[in-house]
Structure 1
Amino acid sequence: MPPSFEPHSISAHGLALHVRQRHPAGTRAVLFLHGWLDHSRSFDWVLEHLPDTWRLILLDFRGMGRSEHVPPGGSYSFSDYLLDVECTLDGLGLETVHLVGHSLGGVVGAAYAAARPQRIQSLTLIESLGPLGGPPEAALERLRGFLDDARRPPHRKRYASVEEAAARLRENNPSLTEAASLHLARYGTEPLEGGVVFRFDPLHRRRFGLGFDEAQWLAILGALSCPVQVLHGSHGLSFEDAQTRARLAALRSPLPLTLSGGHHVHMEQPEAVARALEHFIR
């Protein structure tokens, strides 16, 4: 029987992060980073096809999944997620690790691998090549958006059932399958007043005040020194535009592996994604 996952609470400078781990004495350590407003259970179906001997770690970013929300008056920034990764590695005594990131998790993984090259053995990006970027003059609009969003009080919408919450996920992401949306909703909601609400902190919907422009992000990708592989859903993000080509060139990695599916291709093709991970990490 495959070893089971054990929950851990990791302190990120006082904020409790929810982490699950399997086989702490495993031969290879792999840390999975989920997408924006998702949670680590999005990788469940991939994990079923990975070697039982590997040490697998799953992190819920702060304010998402079962990790703690920031206290009243707090906010979130992109660099916070890098801190979550570092605190997880330190808290589990991991000197080095293979990183796997989906969407936002891939952006975080790439930035962390560039900042801490000595700790990352390889990086797999699933439907992820970076943030929106843009020209330097977009910085002013980001600041305005941040201030505008801060005026809006956080709101947690209630749904009558998990199924209704899953339907809402599919509205926001039409390529998401019914099975995937139900899985995400089942583990990403909690009961409230006769219905359910999503667990993530609604403050995550506010825009960041600071972000990378395209030149900065290309510099980060160009600084990566570990092996990188890119997995892409055939109906997911566009990988045909000039920005994507420039980012792939900066990575100096082989062409993306395209699998049939959408943005959550790892939930549609878990066995194929697991095979790609095992081949690459080995």
Structure 2
Amino acid sequence: MNETGPLSKTLKLAHTNLKALCWGDPADPPLLAIHGWLDNANSFRPLAPLIDNYFVVAIDLPGHGRSDHRPEHALYHFTDYVADVYQIAEFLGWSKFSILGHSMGAGIASLFAGTFADRVDKLLLIEGLGPLSIDENDLPALLAQSVTQRFASSAKKRSIALDKAIRARVQASPMKESSARLLLERGLQLGMEGWQWRSDSRLRLPSPWRMSEAQVAGFLTAISAKTLLITAIDDELWKGITPQTRLEQVADLTHLELPGRHHLHMDYPEQVAELINQFLSPQDVLKTG
């Protein structure tokens, strides 16, 4: 069990400052934890202390949690998150490290592991394998939707009642109320007019571009790290958006299912940590046991 932390840390990158929570001994092997869309570093607060013998750094992605928002002219494009991960590793002085990603964070981790295969030791994915893809014929409509909504949207922050925010979070992605409260603890701020979301409203805009499934496959087949994919038995989200052919494209992948929904790592951290610790152990009990 990782009993040290969490300690707060600021990562000063080239064009932004990101916030992070850290657990464990910096002398231990590094593990970067990347949360999902509209979540934050608290996504890993129940799980990170249970991961043995690793220094865990859970980041707030740009526009999420307590990290800076991207500049006004910039978008939150999926591939830019890969550049963020690269900068984080450079800032921390990590030449090689392991990555733990949930949902969108798992997609980011997958792309990074395919792009910089020699930098990733082990890859741990929860409810995600690669980014969302699109049929090439649907790209013009996607770009049109992205552009029109971008210039029609309002940047004004609206206040929200705390109990309503909790209900909205649970309805958006079913999870225990305690897990939703933990995310909101870092995802809300108290302003003059009440509680407001910290996250950048532009995160909700449609992406101007997505990869085709063939392009995603190019990244997945380039992954050389030993990979663990954990998915929730009771969740249909991952199954609905992830082609099963992707499981065959990663050279060394172990896929395991656990009871729970999309945020199973928050709702049932002990069960998830048991699999992660077995996978990260030198003997890799999942393969030999």
Kept in 1: contact 2:224–2:251 (CA 8 A) = no
For 1:206-245, list aligned pairs within 5 A: 206-237=205-236, 244-245=243-244
Cα distance per residue 1:184-208 (max 9 Å; x no partner): 1122100023421111100111112
| Alpha-carbon distance in 1 for matches of 2:102, 2:276 | 13
| Distance across 2 between alignment mates of 1:260 and 1:41 | 21
What SS class does the counterpart of residue 155 from structure 2 fall into? coil
Alpha-carbon distance change, 91 to 239 in structure 1, aligned in 2, over 3 angstroms: closer
**How far is 1:241 from its partner?**
6.8
Return 5+ residue gaps in structure 2 as ranges.
Answer: 282-289
Displacement of 1:22: 3.0
User: Could you tell me which residue of structure 2 aligns to residue 84 of structure 1?
Assistant: 84
CA shift, 1:13, in A, is: 1.6
Q: Supply the distance in 2 between the matched residues of 1:242 and 1:45 (Cα, whole angstroms).
A: 26
Worse-matched range after superposition: 30-39 or 128-137: 128-137
Q: Distance in 1 between matches of 2:166 and 2:240?
A: 31
Summarize deviations over 1:158-193 as a string: whole Å, max 9, x none.
Answer: 1122x32111111212x2121111111122100023
Indicate conservation of the 8 Å contact 1:127/1:233, yes or no: yes
Aligned counterpart, 1:43: 44
Secondary structure of 2:62's partner? coil
Q: Is the 8 A contact 1:50 1:278 kept in 2?
A: yes
Q: Secondary structure at the match of 1:170?
A: helix
SS in 2 for 1:256: strand
Q: Secondary structure at the match of 1:100?
A: strand
> How far apart are 1:255 and its partner, in Å?
5.2
What is the CA distance between 1:237 and its match in structure 2? Answer: 3.6
- The answer on whether the counterparts of 1:102 and 1:125 sit within 8 Å (CA) in structure 2 is yes
Residues of 2 paired with 1:110 and 1:165: CA distance? 31
Query: Residue 254 of structure 1: CA displacement?
Result: 4.5
> Counterparts of 1:182 and 1:238 in 2: how far apart (Å)?
22
1:165 matched to 2:174? The reply is no
Aligned to 1:193: 192
Residue type matched to 1:129 in 2?
Answer: L
- Cα deviation, 1:229-277, whole Å, max 9, x if unaligned, reads 1100112245667962211111244552111111101011101111111
In 1: Cα distance, 2:11 partner to 2:244 partner: 38
Q: What is the CA RMSD across the aligned residues, in angstroms?
A: 1.9
8 Å contact 2:132–2:242 — kept in the other structure? Answer: no
**Cα distance in 2 for residues equivalent to 1:249 and 1:235:** 22
**CA pair 222-201 structure 1, distance change in 2 beyond 3 A:** same
State the alpha-carbon separation in 2 of the partners of residues 156 and 180 from structure 1.
24
Contact persistence 2:4–2:49 (CA under 8 A)? no
TM-score w.r.t. the length of structure 1 is 0.92
Would you say the 8 A contact 1:17–1:84 is kept in 2? no
Q: Which runs of 5+ in 1 are unaligned?
A: none
One-letter code aligned to 2:10: S
Aligned 8 A contact 2:65 2:198 in 1: yes
Instruction: For 1:200 and 1:241, locate their aligned partners in 2 and report how far apart those are by CA, in whole Å.
Output: 26
Give the match for residue 125 of structure 1. 125
Cα gap change, 1:184 to 1:25, in 2 (>3 Å): closer
The reply on whether 1:26 has 2:27 as its aligned counterpart is yes
- The answer on whether the counterparts of 1:233 and 1:261 sit within 8 Å (CA) in structure 2 is yes
| Partner in structure 1 of residue 103 of structure 2 | 103
Q: CA 1:240–1:55 in structure 2 vs 1: closer, same or farther (change >3 Å)?
A: closer
Give distance in 1, aligned partners of 2:90 and 2:181.
Answer: 33
Q: Quick check: 1:9 aligned with 2:2?
A: no
What one-letter code is carried by the residue in structure 2 that aligns with 1:6? L
